[in-house]
Amino acid sequence: MFLKLFSRSKPPQDLELIQQYRETGDVQLVGQLFERYTEMVYLICLKYLKDEEESKDATMHIFEQLISALPRHEVSNFKSWLHVLTKNHCLMQLRTRKSRGTELMDEKTMPLVEKAALAHAVDANAADPEQELQLLSRALSTLGPEQRTCVELFYLQKKSYKEVADLTGYEIGQVKSHIQNGKRNLKNYMTKNYEQE
């Protein structure tokens, strides 16, 4: 009895905080949850973005993303889910950098076989496979970050609509729309530019 009086109650687990937030909509609960992993998120951002200020901004964006994403997604391991969400956010940031000009999707992350499979999905009638792959690389770089990320995850990493939604924080309807529009934009770009090569 004596020990009970002086023992502190344990802080709520991650999933308890998520559940409370879903029930109450109290953003402070998300803040309390995010505080536990702020350093982890920042360090992941720093690893990918290589810039302290940009990493701080990205950390805040990810916190804001959680406010809308948590009520929509089933999360069984918050730390792991947040790690993936952070990594994907950083990759999207990198892809929107105009100054880089280099393809992040090099042969290590996107093997030729997978490029060919996506190119075939976009334009099954193309005659020259090598030209097709070069065009596809350029076409992918013209997509917006949302479309490009969803197309990559769905076609190249073979993720389901639900998995893409979980990884990006988008709703399933948005994922389907981004994939459909992205595929159409790729096809339009390749059709328009194929003859000019």
Q: Is the overall model pTM greater than 0.75, yes or no?
A: no
Q: What's domain 105-197's architecture?
A: Orthogonal Bundle (1.10)
Question: Would you give the distance in Å from CA 151 to the centre of its chain?
Answer: 11
Half-sphere exposure (Cβ direction) of 191: Cα atoms closer than 13 Å: 10
User: What number is the average pLDDT over the span 62-91?
Assistant: 88
Look up residue 12 and give its DSSP letter: P
Q: Which amino acid is at 56?
A: K
Q: Are 162 and 148 in contact (CB under 8 A)?
A: no
Rounded to an integer, what distance in angstroms lies between the CA atom of residue 197 and that of residue 7? 74
In tens, the pLDDT along 110-139 reads 444 455 556 555 555 555 556 666 777 778
Q: Do the beta carbons of residue 51 and residue 66 sit within 8 Å?
A: no
Q: In the chain, what percentage of residues exceed pLDDT 70?
A: 74
Q: Which CATH architecture has domain 13-98?
A: Orthogonal Bundle (1.10)
| Residues 21, 29 contacting (CB under 8 angstroms) | yes
User: Which element (helix H / strand E) includes 36?
Assistant: none
Domain boundaries of the chain, sorted by first residue: 13-98, 105-197
Average pLDDT rounded to a whole number, residues 90-118: 55
